[in-house]
Amino acid sequence: MEADTAEERREAIRGAVRYGRPPREYAGQVEERILDAAGRVFLEHGFQGASVDEIAEVASAGKPTIYARFPGKQALFSAVIERLVRRNTSLDTLSCAGGSIEQRLDALAAVLLTRVLSPETIGLIRVAVAEARRFPDLATSVSCMGRQRPTEAVARVFGELAASDAIGASPAFAQEKLPETARRFLDLVVLPMLVRALFGEDLAALREEIESHAARSVAFFLAACGHGGTPGLATPANAELPGGHGAVASKTPALAKPVRRTFFRPPAKA
């Protein structure tokens, strides 16, 4: 009787424990769990201080399971960044339908900034920057992903705007110009706030500025694109240069007065 009971317990354990590869429907869940764990470990210890052993422990996965999907720690970090960029720039996330062109671009800018100004995004960018000298290939890969993917996503949104709004008449919104226009938009909207965040300014305080910063940036962007006037030349009187602390609003005069320069001339020899 006791032998039968012991054998039944062993059979139950065998049935509860899985061996080998997980079923296909669970493979994606395993990868997501590994990336979640890797992100937490990288944020806590940095790239150099993180280990595959600790990632495996946090993910409740064996090292062979991790190495079957990612050849090493660098591949793991790249995958974490790629997933973050993909989430931040998904087309659903960047939807800006309805309203005027200003309202739609304001909404787009606000979504981009809200995604960027998160502890996870800023923390992982800092990790990549900190390791740039020791792992230049890794830093270059992360930088390319951080520039290329958002540019492609915003360019697709701009293509939709050009097809449905008068802004499509602007040369900046011609099909072949969309990637460059998207890069300029991202530099104008995201870069100033990103730099401030990377240098340690409070993220909650920065997020409070999103609405006003987005409005200033979009007004300046549309002025540069010639929205409402001669393409590339019109500048609304209330358009301000977007910037960080102490940004000064300025109005562009219709005609700039020439600057008279005085050069030093040495006295003539006697």
Structure-block tokens of residue 204: 């909650």
CB of 242 within 8 A of CB of 188?
yes
What is the average pLDDT across 153-170? Answer: 89
Model-level pTM greater than 0.85? no
Residue 12 counted as domain residue: no
212 and 95 within one domain: yes
pLDDT in tens, 169-211: 899 999 999 999 999 999 999 999 999 999 999 999 999 999 9
Residue 241 counted as domain residue: no
- The amino acid at residue 246 is G
pLDDT over 70 (residue 247): no
Phi/psi for 242 (5° steps) reads -70, 145
Residue 247 counted as domain residue: no
CATH of the domain at 26: 1.10.10.60
Which of 205, 224, 243 terminates a domain? The answer is 224
Average model confidence (pLDDT) across the chain = 79
Per-residue pLDDT, 108: 92
- Where does the pLDDT of residue 122 fall: very low under 50, low under 70, confident under 90, or very high at 90 and above? very high
Residue 75 counted as domain residue: no
159 and 61 within one domain: no
pLDDT in tens, 42-96: 999 999 899 999 999 999 999 999 999 999 999 999 999 999 988 888 766 555 5
Residue 237 counted as domain residue: no
CATH of the domain at 168: 1.10.357
Q: How many domains does the chain have?
A: 2
What is the average pLDDT across 142-149? Answer: 88
38 and 97 within one domain: no
Report percent pLDDT > 90 for the chain.
Answer: 53
Domain range enclosing 167: 81-224
52 and 151 within one domain: no
Task: Report the distance separating Cα 167 and Cα 186, nearest Å.
Answer: 18
